[in-house]
Structure 1
Amino acid sequence: MPVRVAEASAPSQTSGSNGGQTAPPACTLLSVGQAFSGTQNVSSMQKDEAWRVNVRIQGCDLEHGYLCGTMEALNVPMADTPVVTFWEGEIVDTKNYTFFTGKWEATPDDDIRHWTKFPSFSALLSQVEVDGGKSLDLSNYPYIFMRWKEQYFVNVGTDCGLTIAGFYYVCFSCSDGSINGFYYDPNSSPFQKLELKSTNGERSGFSFSSYELR
Structure 2
Amino acid sequence: MPVRVVESSAPSQVAGQDASNQHALSPACSLLSVGRAFSGTQNVSSLQKDEAWRVNVRIQGCDLDHGYLCGTMEALNVPLADTPVVTFWEGEIVDMKNYTFYTGKWEATPENDIKHWSKFPAFSSLLSQVEADGGKSLDLSNYPYIFMRWKEQYFVNVGTDCGLTIAGFYYVCFSCSDGSINGFYYDPNSSPFQKLELKFTNEDRSGFTFSSYQLQ
Judge conservation of contact 1:31–1:60 (CA < 8 Å) in 2. Answer: yes
C-alpha distance in structure 1 between counterparts of 2:76 and 2:4, whole Å: 18
Q: Give 2:90's match in structure 1, choosing from 88, 91, 103.
A: 88
Per-residue CA deviations over 1:156-191 (Å, capped at 9, x if unaligned) read 001112100000000000000000000000000000
Q: Is the 8 A contact 1:40 1:51 kept in 2?
A: yes
Runs of 4+ that moved beyond 6 A? none
Of 185, 195, 198 in structure 2, the residue corresponding to residue 196 of structure 1 is: 198
Residue 9 of structure 1: aligned partner: none
Could you tell me which residue of structure 2 aligns to residue 150 of structure 1? 152
- Measured after TM superposition, the shift of residue 131 of structure 1 is 2.2
Q: 1:106 aligns with which of 85, 90, 108?
A: 108
Structure 2 letter corresponding to 1:103:
K
Per-residue deviation at 1:135?
1.1
- 1:5 equivalent to 2:7? Answer no
Distance 1:117 1:145, change over 3 A: same
Matched, 1:209 2:211: yes
The 5 Å alignment of 1:42-121 reads 42-121=44-123
Once residues 112 and 25 of structure 2 are traced to their aligned partners in structure 1, the CA distance between those partners, rounded to angstroms, is 25
Equivalent-residue separation in structure 1 for 2:137 and 2:78 (angstroms) = 42
**Aligned in 2, Cα 1:55/1:203: closer, same or farther, shift over 3 Å?**
farther
For residues 159 and 126 of structure 1, the distance between their equivalents in structure 2, rounded to whole angstroms, comes to: 43
Q: Contact 2:117 / 2:123 at 8 angstroms: preserved in 1?
A: yes
Q: 1:128 matched to which residue of 2? A: 130
Structure 2's unaligned 5+ residue stretches are 6-18
* Whole-angstrom CA distance in 1 between matches of 2:143 and 2:36: 21
Contact 1:25–1:140 (CA under 8 A) maintained in structure 2:
no
Task: State the 1:25 CA deviation.
Answer: 4.4
Q: Give the 3-state SS of the residue equivalent to 2:92 in structure 1.
A: strand
TM-score normalised to structure 1 length: 0.91
Q: Indicate conservation of the 8 Å contact 1:165/1:185, yes or no.
A: yes
Find the counterpart in structure 2 of residue 11 from structure 1.
none
Deviation at 1:202, TM superposition (A): 5.8
CA distance in 2: counterparts of 1:84 and 1:19, whole angstroms = 36
Cα RMSD (Å):
1.5
Q: Answer whether contact 1:147 1:170 (CA < 8 A) is retained.
A: yes
Secondary structure at 2:112 match in 1: helix
What SS does the corresponding residue of 2:113 show, helix, strand or coil? helix
Say which SS state the counterpart of residue 129 (structure 1) adopts.
helix
Gaps of 5+ in 1: 7-16
In percent, how many aligned pairs have the same letter?
A: 84
Residue 5 of structure 1 aligns to a residue in which SS? coil
Q: How many residues align?
A: 203
Task: Please give the secondary structure, in 2, of the residue aligned with 1:37.
Answer: strand
Whole-angstrom CA distance in 2 between matches of 1:24 and 1:89: 17
TM-score (structure 2 length as normaliser): 0.90
Contact (CA 8 Å) 1:74, 1:83: kept in 2 or not? yes
